[in-house]
Structure 1
Amino acid sequence: MDFRRPLPVALPRAFSVREAYLNGMSRSQLRNAALVRPFHGARFAPRIDPELIDQCHAFSARMPRGAIFSHVTAARLHGMPLPIEFDDGPLHVMSPAGVRATKARGTVGHCATLGASDVTERQGIRLTTPERTWCDLAAILNFSDLVAAGDSLLWWEQPLTTMERLLEAAQRYPSQRGRSRMQLALGSLSPRSRSRPESIVRLALTASVLPEPVPNFEVYLPLSRREIAIDLAYPKYKVGLEYQGDHHRLDRRQWRRDVRRGNDAVDAGWSMIYFTGDDLVDLPDIVARTERRLRSRGWPVA
């Protein structure tokens, strides 16, 4: 169904019914079947694929008093890596203690104590801070994914927080849910893991009988006269592991760079192991392959 009158230009891609009325839309326009209704009191413009930020803006107008976005929703807004099953799904909304949690369609309501240090703003959306979000995820994610989420916050090139702030947030966290997992994960975080797959493989290798790998180990390659960072490295044995994500395959320039840097590393005496997202379902195989390479290079030393 088309609109006889176009939508007001001032309206965003996702908007509340209140915003629509303030911009001159009529009741009959709001009942137009072309408008998507993700929640009661919210609309999406026709023929758009709303992003998470659009959904949050649309629901913000009808949030419970003092409520903010939290848990999985906050994690995605902060750019924290999550398992694929969390790519879509309901919005997580946290109401402060004493305010009834939302039960709106398309949302998951939470109710908890929130301090001023637990709340921040991103693109006009109020949400839990990276530190509080990570603590809340401890009740949802498994150990490896919780570590991967924490690693992303500490990534040294673009950190969203510090280890000290995470420790402080964990200490004052009011809930007991996931606390033991959180405490265990705090001891396994690294500011040198660039991606979720790197973190998960690093944890699998560390939990095995193998030596602990060095994440994003910088190596100077004399033949090509350049420096590279190997995702997971055993410098003593010159064994390295590299994650190949889909962007490595789809970006032609990236793919060519990856092939050249891999060959350069081999020319410099490194034995390279490559893994993809599919390999994460069989971590013992990655560990076994790494053990074979290390043993071929003299591990363990007698």
Structure 2
Amino acid sequence: MPRANPLPSELSTRPFTVREALDAGVGPDRLRRGDLVAPFHGGRAPAAVRLGLDGRCRLALALAPPSAFVCGATAASVHGIPLPPRLAFRQDVELAVPAPGRAIRRAGVIGRVLRIEAPDLERVRRMSVTTPIRTWCDLGVLLHVPELVAAGDWLLRRGLATASELERAADRRLDRRGVVGIRTALPLLDGRAESPKESELRAILHLAGLPAPDVNVDVVDPHGRFVARVDLLFAAYREVLEYQGDHHRTDRAQWRRDRTREAELESLGYHVTEVTDDDLADPVAMVARLARRLGGAGWTGSPRSLDGIRRRRRR
């Protein structure tokens, strides 16, 4: 097969629409060559160029009506808002047009029609995207409450929103879908949370009716020497909860530090419970274990039903 003619320089390093290419003098046969891929109907990209999230979004927008904007889970990824794997790794681009328009219908695009106001949109890296605050409200349709709390905590910690701003946005939200989850999540937000999984854990504990733990507490010994900064602490019951990601298991040095840290805490009269992602995937069983532990330390309450929290599938 003859070598393909080089693309015009302005198209050789980025995705482009078929219309752009034709206007630049690229023939239809050239657009069918194997060194190009078609992420969307009507769009092309050099196969050697990594498309990435921004590239997919910009190409999808270039093929959409001028009023279109990135929304939902895709907007959350653009802003860096943490999402569960089922959404974070999704390749489809979520685009919306303002109501009363017609949803975009194109393979690789999840089309929406949203009631939107000008302050709800901003430009991010040359893309029209819902703001972090509006995006969080829209996630109320896609996330269960602990995941929504994790996303909200992330916004608060990074100064992208305040709790009152999120509450005002929820109040003026015209789309009532997801409003129950949003209203449940709002009073649980805490900008001190240092990881999404920690936020999920704290939200589950609250929804289950367990005592409210202190967040990211520095523990010192009787002489004032710093011992550890713990994720969650039930001070009255001397119970520490620590979320342990996989790196705590696979990094040998980290594992050794964790064991020493745990021994120091237990020498001061604390009990340490480690929580993993498997525990978060089965919150009913996790809460039952924690309730028994707290009950043995003097808590006289009982956990509430967690029927409203969907059990996540283990990966």
**Common fold by TM > 0.5:** yes
Partner of residue 233, structure 1: 233
Gaps of 5+ in 1: none
The CA RMSD over aligned residues, in Å, is: 2.9
CA contact (8 A) 2:4 2:33 kept: no
Helix, strand or coil at the partner of 1:192: coil
Cα distance per residue 1:106-147 (max 9 Å; x no partner): 111112222121001222221001111111122232223222
Over 3 Å counting, the alpha-carbon distance change for 1:62 and 1:293 in structure 2 is same
Helix, strand or coil at the partner of 2:197: helix
Q: In structure 2, how many angstroms separate the alpha carbons of the residues matched to 1:184 and 1:47?
A: 46
Gaps of 5+ in 2: 302-315
Partner of residue 37, structure 1: 38
Q: Does 1:196 align with 2:196?
A: yes
Q: In structure 2, how many angstroms separate the alpha carbons of the residues matched to 1:77 and 1:251?
A: 30
Over 3 Å counting, the alpha-carbon distance change for 1:34 and 1:271 in structure 2 is same
Over 3 Å counting, the alpha-carbon distance change for 1:23 and 1:289 in structure 2 is farther
Partner of residue 144, structure 1: 146
Helix, strand or coil at the partner of 2:122: strand
Q: In structure 1, how many angstroms separate the alpha carbons of the residues matched to 2:55 and 2:74?
A: 12
Q: In structure 2, how many angstroms separate the alpha carbons of the residues matched to 1:115 and 1:81?
A: 25
Cα distance per residue 1:190-248 (max 9 Å; x no partner): 22333332222222222334311222223235789446431221122221111112344
Partner of residue 17, structure 1: 18
Letter in 1 for 2:123: E
Over 3 Å counting, the alpha-carbon distance change for 1:269 and 1:159 in structure 2 is farther
Helix, strand or coil at the partner of 1:176: coil
Letter in 1 for 2:289: R
Offset at residue 47 of structure 1 (A): 5.1
Over 3 Å counting, the alpha-carbon distance change for 1:206 and 1:8 in structure 2 is same
Q: For residues 146-185 of structure 1, what are the structure 2 equivalents within 5 Å?
A: 146-155=148-157, 158-185=158-185
Partner of residue 46, structure 1: 47
Q: In structure 2, how many angstroms separate the alpha carbons of the residues matched to 1:254 and 1:12?
A: 42
> Which sits farther off after the overlay, 114-123 or 262-271?
262-271
Partner of residue 131, structure 1: 133
Helix, strand or coil at the partner of 2:33: coil
Q: In structure 2, how many angstroms separate the alpha carbons of the residues matched to 1:160 and 1:207?
A: 26
CA contact (8 A) 1:223 1:268 kept: no
Letter in 1 for 2:166: L
Over 3 Å counting, the alpha-carbon distance change for 1:3 and 1:124 in structure 2 is farther
CA contact (8 A) 2:145 2:203 kept: no
> Which sits farther off after the overlay, 263-272 or 7-16?
7-16
> Which sits farther off after the overlay, 230-239 or 217-226?
217-226
Letter in 1 for 2:99: A
Partner of residue 217, structure 1: 217
Offset at residue 170 of structure 1 (A): 1.0
| TM-score (norm: length of structure 1) | 0.85
> Which sits farther off after the overlay, 178-187 or 12-21?
12-21
Over 3 Å counting, the alpha-carbon distance change for 1:294 and 1:42 in structure 2 is same
CA contact (8 A) 1:271 1:293 kept: no
> Which sits farther off after the overlay, 158-167 or 92-101?
92-101
Cα distance per residue 1:11-49 (max 9 Å; x no partner): 445333355457775433321134221212222332566
CA contact (8 A) 1:3 1:29 kept: no
Over 3 Å counting, the alpha-carbon distance change for 1:171 and 1:24 in structure 2 is same
CA contact (8 A) 1:153 1:161 kept: yes
CA contact (8 A) 1:223 1:267 kept: no
Q: In structure 1, how many angstroms separate the alpha carbons of the residues matched to 2:153 and 2:170?
A: 15
Q: In structure 1, how many angstroms separate the alpha carbons of the residues matched to 2:32 and 2:281?
A: 46
Q: In structure 1, how many angstroms separate the alpha carbons of the residues matched to 2:265 and 2:166?
A: 36
Cα distance per residue 1:150-190 (max 9 Å; x no partner): 222122xx232111111111111111222233222212222
Cα distance per residue 1:85-111 (max 9 Å; x no partner): 212142111112243321111111112
Q: In structure 2, how many angstroms separate the alpha carbons of the residues matched to 1:61 and 1:16?
A: 7
CA contact (8 A) 1:97 1:111 kept: yes
CA contact (8 A) 1:245 1:277 kept: yes
